[in-house]
Amino acid sequence: MRVLHLVCCRMRRIANVVDSFRRTQSRTFGKVPDRVIDPRPFHDIPKEGFPMIGNLIGAVRNAKRSYLYFTEMHEKHGPIFRSKLGLLEAIFVFDPVGVEQVVNSTVNDIPEVVRDFLDYLLALQQNNQSIALNDEIFQWSVETIGKVLYDTRFGCFGVNPSVVGRDFAHAVKILLQTTEEVMVLPLTIVKILFRTTWEKHRGASTFMFKMARTYIDQTMEKIKVEMDRETEENTSLLHHLLTHSDWEEGEIYAIVTEMMAGGTDTIANTIVFAMDVLSRNQDIQDKLHAELCDIIRDDEPSVTDFQNTPYLRGI
């Protein structure tokens, strides 16, 4: 619990700093780092592999060390590359600095969600209530992605938390557990060889799509009202997609649903993994605590202060 209390207190201060920093940045969607001056079309992004199956053989052969396999691909092709795994073709981005800059230029309300979540965890701790940290972090992840995509708060934590986060997070977990068996082979074969897995996968996907569609429709209606009134109050990513692209409605539904599921999984699992490592290594906790105490005094630390925390940034 000492670790949780420390992390909550420090993250709250970090959230305040990030919030203050972002207030000085442009709130204009679509702003990207100056060094990204010549975006390349999809077909020009480097890739390798065989016709039809792409990198499938290499990926299967390195299934137990996939992170090393894709790191090698990154070293060979650079920070952005394509990989085709059977029927699945994906873009991989290995440029954390670039991603951070893009996110900072388009997302301004995450600190608000972080502070509310940390207040909620500290309240549970002070009331001597048990904390299922894995589940709670998934709830926070859903709440965060809802704010980013729809400019909406789901209410996933509080005195009477919404079931939205719990149900969506559960569906995401099922989807991840079943994806490996269903994503590579043709659907006809999957339905025969992995029927039970396919039914679970389809059920989770259907639930996520229906839920996302509900919030997409609500957000689209709010945006329509704002446009009729000639106001620009909505700052969601969905608003940006609707007003700066010519995608069809079906494409919007598919893309936003995938972003909601992928965002939930990526945020939650990354934080859970980091917390698990901290909980198992007292020496790492102590070293991180000492580094943070060195910059956090009576005043709120600045963004520059956090540039001088190599251990924190390494974690």
Same domain, 82 and 150: no
Ramachandran angles phi, psi of 128, nearest 5°: 55, 35
DSSP strand pairing (88-93 vs 80-85): antiparallel
Same domain, 237 and 163: yes
Q: Is 127 exposed, middle or buried (0-12, 13-18, 19+ CB in 10 A)?
A: exposed
Q: How confident is the model at residue 206 (pLDDT cuts 50, 70, 90)?
A: very high
Same domain, 168 and 269: yes
Residue 305 vs residue 175, higher pLDDT = 175
Please give the pLDDT value at position 2: 43
Give the tens place of pLDDT for each residue, 130-148.
888 888 999 999 999 888 8
DSSP for 29-86, please give it: TT---TT--SPPPGGGS---SBTTTBTHHHHHHTGGGHHHHHHHHHHHH-SEEEEEET
Same domain, 137 and 271: yes
Q: Of the given ranges (104-118, 119-133, 207-221), which has the lowest mean pLDDT?
A: 104-118
Residues of the domain holding 138: 132-280
pLDDT at residue 32 is higher than 60: no
- Domain assignment present for 20: no
How many structural domains compose the chain?
2
Percent of the chain with pLDDT over 90: 11
Give the tens place of pLDDT for each residue, 70-112.
787 788 878 888 877 766 677 778 777 777 666 666 556 677 8
